[in-house]
Structure 1
Amino acid sequence: MTKNILKKSLIYIILVLGCIIILLPFLWMISTSLKPFNEIFLMPPKWIPSKIMWKNYGEVQSKIPLLKYFLNSVFITLGVTLGTLITTILAAFAFSKVKFWGRDVIFSTFIGTMMIPGEVILIPNYITISKVGWMNSYKALIIPWTISVFSIFLLRQFFFTIPEPLYRAAKIDGCSDFKFLWTIMVPLSKPALITIALLRIINSWNEFLWPLIVTNIPNMRTLPVGLMTFTSEAGADYHLLMAAATMIIIPILIVYFVLQKYIISSMTKSGIKG
């Protein structure tokens, strides 16, 4: 009994320490974003500002077109997420329910591409985008990222949990593959699809390198790229930098906390069979 109590106490202590280590940088960022400039470098550090400077956020918006960057990020994120869901649903269904020659070999090849670092294919992708004339366009920022091997793998595993007799019964009743997919499998796969959407939203929202190399005009900048350019303009105004970073992070945190329960549900169910 005493041993179990000590074990649980140790686990809770480790978890609490881990949470503190993870949360401290975010709390410091928010605190700094609300400080006057002369309190940023105080020693010892001051966590609570003597005067909350909400005007820091207004000053950031006056220096850079943050709304334009925000709308660009929202549009690109929605485009990537919607495109990924469509391609993932079709591919996962083919790899889980449709019988065709070489299916397992093709799927294994797909999984093998996950071992290739993204930087390796960055230059070939850039050359392709340049050759087809998509530089400085939404097409360059959306279309190359609408296929996700991990998303296909995750949804395929989830599709395996849907009973095979259900599929065969639907086929006997004259239901086409397309109808079965969209009227039965997709509604049943809501937790997995929400998880995939959430992961794509986070990845697309935070993407920095690709938008940086395929766009070179201010109107096409996303929030991460806009923040990078702002760092050179703001210089040592770290309170403004922290305010800009806070405004970029808050939307994605809200989305994550609203949908986080579906991640656990999906991961649990997708691990039942595979």
Structure 2
Amino acid sequence: MTLTISPPAPVEAPPAEVPRPRRRPSVRRAFAYLLLVVLSVAVLVPFAWMVSSSLKLDAEVFSVPIRWIPAEFHWDNFTRIWERIPLVTYLRNSVFLSLVITALQVLTGSFAAYGFAKVRFPGRDALFLAYLATIAVPWQAYMVPQYIIMQKAGLVNTHLSLILLQAFGAFGVFLMRQYYLTIPDELSEAARLDGLSEYGIWARIILPLSKPALASLALLTFVNTWNDYMGPFIYLTDNKLWTIQLGLRSFVGLYDAEYAMIMTGSVLSVLPILVIFLLGQKYFVQGIATSGMK
């Protein structure tokens, strides 16, 4: 009897994957992109007009129709403004107030938010809601009482009045608390079991994990303080204490205004904010997206 061994059947190669056709963007996505482009142009148009006006003469700023590209570029506006007003003093005051107020708001906001987010005590949520409700109260409602308090304390016409009034903010506490809620409580509990105090937990565990939220709060506070006009206008009377926003008022007269100089000063005042935002844009977007405010 002869055994016949048949050769093994050839292994068939797996069928080659057919490349899938690329999906065309949906109508909804195209409409979303178009809407974003329109909104971006709407935001950039005033800035472009400001830059264009800073290179014109006063009579050309409000010409009809609008001339977006000046017939003659007056670059000397950016040199003459330093001679017309003490711009260095105004910029120095703005930088000082913005940095000090930003540092204080980040410190107080992050510390208060830790208590509302990670420390359990009776009435915590009710106290937080009451504190948060102060955002709904317009500043004009307590503007006069605040001024009277500062006047009685002898702090009018000093930078200290603005620093004390803006060193605390309910918005900063809300922003930081929302971010702290995303940090697991197990980290704080483990640190307590190891004997770390609440101050140590806040400084050594919570803060290093909250860099995006801290950057967002710092950027928002810096921009708001830098652009503040009413605060310095009410409390500062000495020209040596004025900020850049208040100093540009020097070009507004009783019957007319030097609009070209105003636009030139506005461009110079926007540049620091633009640089800071571009440098911290990554942390700003990440902090807003992870704090429940997107």
Answer yes or no: is the 8 Å Cα contact 1:92–1:156 preserved in 2. Answer: yes
Task: Write the distance in 2 (CA, Å) between the matches of 1:80 and 1:136.
Answer: 17
What do the CA deviations read for 1:188-233 (whole angstroms, capped 9, x no partner)?
Answer: 0000000000010011001111111111111111111111232228
> Residues 101-140 of structure 1: matches in 2 within 5 Å?
101-140=122-161
Gaps of 5+ in 2: 1-21
Work out the percentage of aligned pairs sharing the same amino acid: 35
TM-score, normalised with respect to structure 2 = 0.87
- Cα RMSD of the aligned pairs, angstroms, is 2.1
Task: Write the distance in 2 (CA, Å) between the matches of 1:40 and 1:186.
Answer: 48
Could you tell which deviates more after superposition, 54-63 or 193-202?
A: 54-63
Q: How many residues align?
A: 272
Answer yes or no: is the 8 Å Cα contact 2:251–2:261 preserved in 1. Answer: no
- Specify the SS of the correspondent of 1:34: coil
Aligned residue number for residue 107 of structure 2: 86
Could you tell which deviates more after superposition, 142-151 or 228-237?
A: 228-237
Could you tell which deviates more after superposition, 263-272 or 203-212?
A: 263-272
Change (3 A) 1:36 1:163: same
Task: Write the distance in 2 (CA, Å) between the matches of 1:71 and 1:233.
Answer: 27
Aligned residue number for residue 276 of structure 2: 255
TM-score, normalised with respect to structure 1 = 0.93
Which 4+ stretches in 1 moved above 6 angstroms? none
The letter of the residue matching 1:178 is Y
Flag the structure with larger Rg.
2
Match status 1:171 vs 2:195: no
Answer yes or no: is the 8 Å Cα contact 1:234–1:240 preserved in 2. Answer: no
Aligned residue number for residue 148 of structure 1: 169
Task: Write the distance in 2 (CA, Å) between the matches of 1:10 and 1:146.
Answer: 43
Match status 1:62 vs 2:83: yes
The letter of the residue matching 2:27 is L
- Specify the SS of the correspondent of 1:121: helix
Task: Write the distance in 2 (CA, Å) between the matches of 1:234 and 1:12.
Answer: 46
Task: Write the distance in 1 (CA, Å) between the matches of 2:205 and 2:286.
Answer: 19
State the shift of 1:44 in Å. 3.6
Task: Write the distance in 2 (CA, Å) between the matches of 1:108 and 1:221.
Answer: 36
Answer yes or no: is the 8 Å Cα contact 1:84–1:145 preserved in 2. Answer: yes
State the shift of 1:181 in Å. 0.9
Task: Write the distance in 1 (CA, Å) between the matches of 2:23 and 2:177.
Answer: 45
Answer yes or no: is the 8 Å Cα contact 1:60–1:240 preserved in 2. Answer: yes
- Specify the SS of the correspondent of 2:196: coil
Task: Write the distance in 2 (CA, Å) between the matches of 1:108 and 1:246.
Answer: 40
Gaps of 5+ in 1: none
Answer yes or no: is the 8 Å Cα contact 1:195–1:266 preserved in 2. Answer: yes
State the shift of 1:49 in Å. 2.5
Could you tell which deviates more after superposition, 182-191 or 258-267?
A: 258-267
Higher helix share: 1
Match status 1:212 vs 2:233: yes
State the shift of 1:145 in Å. 0.3
Change (3 A) 1:49 1:107: same
> Residues 20-35 of structure 1: matches in 2 within 5 Å?
20-35=41-56
Aligned residue number for residue 74 of structure 1: 95
Change (3 A) 1:196 1:41: closer
Aligned residue number for residue 68 of structure 2: 47
The letter of the residue matching 1:75 is F
Could you tell which deviates more after superposition, 240-249 or 186-195?
A: 240-249
The letter of the residue matching 1:225 is L
Task: Write the distance in 1 (CA, Å) between the matches of 2:23 and 2:289.
Answer: 32
Task: Write the distance in 2 (CA, Å) between the matches of 1:105 and 1:43.
Answer: 56
> Residues 212-251 of structure 1: matches in 2 within 5 Å?
212-232=233-253, 235-251=256-272
